[in-house]
């Protein structure tokens, strides 16, 4: 299922946050949105999962304007994994994953055996089947994010939105989480902070700066030293990772490089 954003304008309390942003993700692709803090990444994602309505432009998922769908219909297509949930409740892992079935259930409807099978399968797929009865809040950050990915899978959505899912995770958990998500093969749009993770896992990158899309393209088209200096204010050496053979960045503060050149 593909996602298309056309000329999206978004405001929060009458302040423009995103201006004329366009973006496209084909079925099965992973598109990364990168940009400094406050560049509008999260806000833009909200227009896709119906939390903040754009003041202009069009957002379609599977060809339909998401803002003309009902909340339930939209949730059947799009699932979200946001930053680590700081939750103070005692739902078990199974209960949290089962919540993923709610867009498919009526208010009075109970979960069927099929729903429970879907939940079990989702937990197995992300490798948390052994923690099914643990209390969600007692898990580590990486485990929590896996549970939320399982919830998204249980939702049987065809599009996955990730809003800086690797924040607060240690390096290994970051890699494992993105590895897992890429292997799912679902259309994914992810706001990511860590540029090397974005470079490694995404098929396409879109760069936001102060609410505007300043670049879109493949990883090596987008991550140029000029753009990184301009948008992120860092000096950058772009090379090839010695092990993975993929695009890799090494960055330093801008001033340091000037010192080095002298």
CA dist., res. 209 & res. 252, Å (int): 20
Q: Give the tokens for residue 45.
A: 């994602």
| Tokens 């970051």 -> residue | 174
Instruction: Read off φ and ψ for residue 213, nearest 5 degrees.
Output: -80, 120
Q: Nearest distance from residue 189's CB to other proteins, in Å?
A: 13
**Among 206, 47, 140, which residue's Cα sits nearest to residue 131?**
140
Cβ proximity to other proteins, 154 vs 207, nearer residue: 154
Cβ proximity to other proteins, 119 vs 219, nearer residue: 119
From the CB of residue 218, how many other CB atoms can be counted at a distance below 10 Å?
Answer: 12
Cβ proximity to other proteins, 72 vs 258, nearer residue: 72
Cβ proximity to other proteins, 143 vs 209, nearer residue: 143
CA dist., res. 211 & res. 21, Å (int): 8
Q: Nearest distance from residue 170's CB to other proteins, in Å?
A: 14
Chain contacts with other proteins (rule: CB under 8 A): 46, 49-51, 70-72, 74-76, 78-80, 82, 85, 87-91, 95-96, 99-100, 102-103, 105, 107-108, 135, 137-138, 148, 155, 161, 163
The β-bridge partners of 207 are 34, 215
From the CB of residue 30, how many other CB atoms can be counted at a distance below 10 Å?
Answer: 22
Cβ proximity to other proteins, 82 vs 215, nearer residue: 82
Helices (H) and strands (E) in the chain, counts: 10, 12
Using CA atoms, how far residue 138 sits from 120, 128, 173, 219, 224, in Å, is 20, 14, 16, 37, 42
Q: Nearest distance from residue 222's CB to other proteins, in Å?
A: 27
Q: Nearest distance from residue 163's CB to other proteins, in Å?
A: 7
Q: Nearest distance from residue 96's CB to other proteins, in Å?
A: 7
Cβ proximity to other proteins, 159 vs 208, nearer residue: 159
């Amino acid at each position: 299922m593909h996602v298309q954003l056309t000329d999206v304008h978004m405001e929060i309390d009458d302040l423009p946050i995103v201006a004329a942003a366009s973006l496209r993700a084909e079925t099965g692709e992973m598109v990364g949105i990168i940009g400094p803090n406050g560049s509008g990444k999260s806000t833009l994602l909200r227009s896709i999962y119906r939390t903040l309505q754009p003041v202009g432009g069009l957002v379609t998922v599977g060809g339909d304007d998401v803002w003309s769908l009902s909340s339930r219909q939209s949730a059947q297509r799009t699932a979200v994994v946001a930053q680590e949930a700081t939750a103070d409740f005692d739902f078990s892992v199974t209960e949290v994953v089962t919540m993923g079935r709610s867009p498919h259930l009526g208010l009075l409807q109970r979960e069927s055996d099929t729903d429970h099978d879907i939940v079990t399968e989702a937990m197995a797929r992300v490798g948390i089947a052994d923690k099914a009865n643990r209390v969600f809040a007692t898990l580590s950050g990486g485990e929590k994010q896996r549970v939320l990915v399982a919830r998204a899978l249980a939702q049987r959505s065809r599009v996955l939105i990730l809003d800086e899912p690797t924040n607060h995770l240690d390096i290994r958990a970051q890699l494992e989480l993105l590895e897992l998500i890429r292997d799912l093969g679902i259309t994914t749009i992810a706001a990511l902070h860590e540029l090397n993770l974005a470079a490694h896992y995404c098929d396409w990158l879109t760069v936001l700066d102060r609410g505007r899309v300043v670049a879109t393209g493949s990883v090596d088209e987008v991550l140029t030293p000029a753009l990184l200096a301009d948008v992120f204010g860092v000096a950058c050496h772009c090379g090839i990772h010695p092990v993975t053979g993929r695009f890799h960045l090494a960055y330093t503060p801008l001033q340091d490089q000037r010192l080095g050149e002298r």
